[in-house]
Structure formats: structure tokens, C-alpha cells
Amino acid sequence: MKNKLLQRLALAAGAVLISGSALAQVKIAYIDPLSGPFANVGEGGLKGFKEAADILVNQKGGVLGQKLEFVGFDNKGSPQESQIQLKAAIDQGFRFITQGNGSGAAHSLIDAVNKWNARNPDKTVLFFNYAAVDPTLTNEQCSFWHFRFDANTEMKMEAITNFMEKDKSIKKVFIIGQDYAHGHQVAKYTKEQLAKKRPDVKIVGEDLHPIGKVKDFAPYIAKIKASGADTVMTGNWGNDLSLLVKAAKDAGLKARFFTYYAGGLGTPQAMGASGEGKVLQLTEWHDNVPTKSTEKFAADFNKKYAPAAYFYYLRVNTMTEMVAKAMNTAKSTDPKAVALALEDMRFPAENGEVWMRKSDHQLMQPLYISIFTKADGKTVKHDSEGTGYGWKTLASISQRDSQMPTSCIMERP
């Protein structure tokens, strides 16, 4: 008994020593909503990064003998607050930041980072974007100080339309989306690329609705039904997606839904049985894509954090490992050196080989189209968020096939 106590004390003292002084740290500021309505999404991401840093980097020797650490900064989802938090992080000596929720905040951060770096060339800051998908961020607005680890809207739509090109059962498509930039972009790229690849497919309707304002989607479903669509394309996320799918099931609509974010935190739960066999998603990975070690990683993660968070972002792991690798190859934690090492990097990620394109700092990675079906323990081994339903791969798109040209003209320091 006494021994055990002593042992514990010694361990605790050791832990304090290690975390306190023995190992210096490379710190990355995670600037995302940690309070308010989107806190669950922000929290989920932070947990993912912390877990990835611990298991994939620190337990394997860290970066340059130091520990990699992610520290949360609450931007409350606001572009302006993001800038204040960026300043707070810079004050505390952070030279790396990451953000993902909302392209508005991403625009604001890129802008602020560009200006900061121009005005303080000796204290530059590097921005890793793990989820903001506005294509302009790696086209017109591209920056040397910004790296994106998620496929952008245009690439995702390319992958989806490639899939539709082969599926001849698709004849009539209805587009519905939230009335803001992302929804507009999804509609635009759907029309553009379908016209190229499947000119025979008819767009039978296109609707935009204010974001987060619709409670009852039944009238929209009635309209989709009246249009005779067999496929619905939507960029909706969160409740706007769950409610749409639920209303479709209630009215007995048979059409399939192509979505971007049906796997996002809380959505599988809210859709439940109503999404079965009807909802498709495009992601870089899902629970039933075979991997070397992520299956165990995901199981441990879910065991530790469910139901507050489920493992969803494979790209968080990819990003953490790539950043660590870049620091190790550059033998430096200077943002510019890290940025140069990241450029053109090829990395064997868990979903296949990925490539960070030098010209626009957009990560090219394999993508998967999957459908929400009953978990059967075989091809659909894992269910999603304890619902009994999981994702089954319908098609995979290689890294090469998801590439799109960029209009980026990058200013290099």
C-alpha cells in the first residue's frame, strides 16, 4: 500500500518534471470554436489533434527531440475573434496555427497571417488549414503561408461527378443548398461539371434556403418529389442535412442524396435509420476503409471520448504526421523552413499516398464515396456513432484523379 503510494508520488513528480522542463515543446495553436453553438465540432477536432500528436508523434520520439503539442484558442466561430486569438497565440510564442471550421474565419486568418508576416519577417507564422474548403483559398487567395489538408469543394465535386458519370441510373438531379458561399459553390460546380460529363442528365430543380432557419423540410421534399428527381445534390451540413434526410424518409422520397458532410459529428446520429441506403458522402476516409493502424487508433479514440466525440477526421492525423515529418526533415521549427519542407512532400498516409502540391499548397489525397447502410460486421464492420449504421465504400478516387488545375500565382518570400 505504502509502496504504491510512493510509486504514485514518484510518477507524478516525474510527470511534472517531464512536462515542465525536461522536454521543450513545439506548439501549434488550434483556433476554432470551443464555446457556443459549434463547440462540439471544434472540440472534436481538438481532441483529434491532441490524440494524433500523442500517439503518432510524441510516442515515436517527437519532433527534433521535442514534444508536439496542440493548444486550443476559442475563436467562437467568428472571423474577427479569430484575429484576436491569433494575436494572443503570437504573443505566447506560437509560430504555427491551425483552423478548419468555416471559410470565413480561414479567410480572415490567411489575411492576418500574410499581413503579420510582411510586417514582422523575423517572427513569421504558418497556417495549416484542416477543413475550410472554399476553393479560392488555394486559387485567387492562395498564400505561401497557408497549407490546406482537405480537398476543396471543386475537387470534391469533380470526384462526385466522376462517380455520376459512370452511374447511368442517374437521370434527374435536384440541387439544394444553404444560401451562402459554400452552397452557391456546390450548385455552381455541380452544374458546370455535370454539363461536361453527363450532358444527358437534367437538372430538374435548384433551391437555396437560409442557413439554419428551416425547421420543417417537408415542403422542400414535396417539391423535389414533384420534380421527379432521382438524385439530390446537397452541400448542407449539420441540422440542415439531418432534417432534410429525415423529411425525405417521412414522405417516402426514394431519391439518393449526395452529400459532403453526412459523416460529420452528430449527423449520423440525427439521421439514424432515415439515412439508410439513401445518403452518400464523399470523404478522404471513413470507418470501413481498411488501414494499417487507424482502425485501432479510431477504436481507442472512440472508447476514450464517445459520445462527446467520435473519430472522423483522418486528415487530422495525416496533417499532424506530415507537419512532424517536415520539421524533422528541415531540422528546424522555423515556419519558413517547415513550409519549404512541406512543399512537394509525398507521404504514405493511411488512406493512400498523398501529395502536397507546391504550386498552390493544396493536399492531393485519395477520396472515397460511401453509402450509409446497416452495419453487418463484414464489409461494413464499424457502425457510425453507435447508430447500427455505417459507411460502405462505393467507389474510391485516386489522388491523381482528384487533382484540379489551380489559378494560384503565389508570392514567395
Partner 1 sequence: MFRRGRLLLWGACLALAVALPLVFKSGFMLSLLCQIGIMVVFALSYNMLLGQTGLLSFGHAVYFGIGAFISMHTLNMIGKDGGPLVVALLPLVGGLAGLLAGVVLGWVTTKKAGTTFAMISLGIGELVAACALMFPGLFGGEGGISGNRVVGTGSLLGFTWGPQVEMYGLIVAWAFVATVAMFALTQTPLGRMANAVRDNPERAEFVGYDTQRVRYLMLILSGLFAGVAGGLTALNYEIVTAETLNAHTSGVVLLMTFVGGIGFFYGPIIGAILVTVMQIVIGGMTQAWLLYFGLFFLFMVLMAPGGIASVIAMQRNLWQAGLFRRMVPHYLAVALPILVLLAGLVGLIEMTYALLAGEGVGAGDTATKVMGMQLQLASMEPWAIALAITVAGVALTRWIGGRTRAAWNETLATLHGDRT
Partner 2 sequence: MEFVVISLLNGITYGLLLFMLSSGLTLIFSMMGILNFAHASFYMLGAYFAYQISAWLGFWPGLLVAPLLVGAVGAAVERYGLRRAHRFGHVAELLFTFGLAFLVEEVVHLVWGTSSVDYKIPAELDGTLFTLFSTDFPIYKGFMMLISVGMLVALYALLTRTRIGLIIQAALTKPDMVEALGHNVPRIFMLVFGGGTALAGLAGVIGGNAFITEPGMAAAVGSIVFVVVVVGGLGSLGGAFVASLLIGCIQTFSIGLTISVTDVFALIGVTLPAGSQVARLTITQLAPVLPYILMVAILIFRPRGLMGARES
Q: Would you say the C-alpha torsion 396, 46, 264, 193 has a positive or negative sign? A: negative
What is the distance, to the nearest Å, from the Cα of residue 156 to the centroid of all Cα atoms in its chain? 12
Residue 55 interacts with partner 1 (CB under 8 A): yes or no: no
Residue 184 interacts with partner 1 (CB under 8 A): yes or no: yes
Q: What is the DSSP string of 323-361?
A: HHHHHHHHT---HHHHHHHHTT-EEEETTEEEEE-TTT-
Residue 134 interacts with partner 2 (CB under 8 A): yes or no: no
Rounded to whole angstroms, the Cα distance separating 118 from 412 reads 11
Residue 209 interacts with partner 2 (CB under 8 A): yes or no: yes
Among 146, 156, 198, 246, binds partner 2 (CB under 8 A): 246
Beta strands in 263-408 (DSSP E): 279-283, 346-349, 352-356, 363-364, 367-374, 389-397
Which does residue 330 touch among partner 2, partner 1, none (CB within 5 to 8 A, set by kind)?
none
- The helix or strand, by DSSP H or E, that contains position 175, with its residue range, turns out to be strand 172-178
Which does residue 90 touch among partner 1, partner 2, none (CB within 5 to 8 A, set by kind)?
partner 1
Which does residue 411 touch among partner 1, partner 2, none (CB within 5 to 8 A, set by kind)?
none
C-beta of 290: minimal distance to partner 1 in Å? 26
Q: Give the binding range for partner 2 (CB under 8 A) out of 90-98, 115-123, 166-174, 236-244.
A: 236-244
Separation of first and last alpha carbons in the chain: 62
Mutual orientation of helices 218-227 and 239-250 as an angle, nearest 10°? 60
Considering the complex, state which of residue 151 and residue 397 has its C-beta at the smaller distance from partner 1.
151
Residue 39 interacts with partner 2 (CB under 8 A): yes or no: yes
- Judged by DSSP in three states, 396 sits in strand
* Largest separation between any pair of C-alpha atoms in the chain: 79
Considering the complex, state which of residue 12 and residue 24 has its C-beta at the smaller distance from partner 1.
12
Among 250, 300, 376, 411, binds partner 2 (CB under 8 A): 250
Cell, residue 161? 461527378
Among 79, 104, 272, 352, binds partner 2 (CB under 8 A): 272
Using CB under 8 A as the binding criterion, the count of chain residues that bind partner 2 stands at 35
Among 307, 348, 388, 413, binds partner 2 (CB under 8 A): 307
Residue 74 interacts with partner 2 (CB under 8 A): yes or no: no
Which does residue 214 touch among partner 1, partner 2, none (CB within 5 to 8 A, set by kind)?
partner 2
Among 45, 102, 205, 264, binds partner 1 (CB under 8 A): 102
Rounded to whole angstroms, the Cα distance separating 378 from 380 reads 5
C-beta of 135: minimal distance to partner 1 in Å? 11
Q: Give the binding range for partner 2 (CB under 8 A) out of 94-102, 155-163, 241-249, 375-383.
A: 241-249
Rounded to whole angstroms, the Cα distance separating 47 from 176 reads 32
Which does residue 226 touch among partner 1, partner 2, none (CB within 5 to 8 A, set by kind)?
partner 2
Query: Is 190:161 a contact under the CB 8 Å cutoff?
Result: yes
Distances (CA, A) of 46 to 30, 132, 299: 7, 15, 17
CB atoms within 10 A of CB 204: 17
The dihedral region occupied by 65, where left means phi > 0, alpha psi between -120 and 50, and beta the remainder, is left
Considering the complex, state which of residue 112 and residue 232 has its C-beta at the smaller distance from partner 1.
112
C-beta of 265: minimal distance to partner 2 in Å? 6
Cell, residue 94? 506560437
Among 167, 179, 192, 216, binds partner 1 (CB under 8 A): 179
- Judged by DSSP in three states, 26 sits in strand
Binding mask 110-149 for partner 1 (x = CB under 8 A): -xx--x---x--------------x-x-------------
Q: What are phi and psi of 3, to 5 degrees?
A: -55, -45
Rounded to whole angstroms, the Cα distance separating 350 from 260 reads 20
Considering the complex, state which of residue 290 and residue 307 has its C-beta at the smaller distance from partner 1.
307
Q: Which residues bind partner 2 (CB under 8 A)?
A: 37, 39-40, 43, 179, 207-210, 212-216, 218-220, 222-223, 225-226, 239, 242-243, 246, 250-252, 265-266, 269-270, 272, 307-308
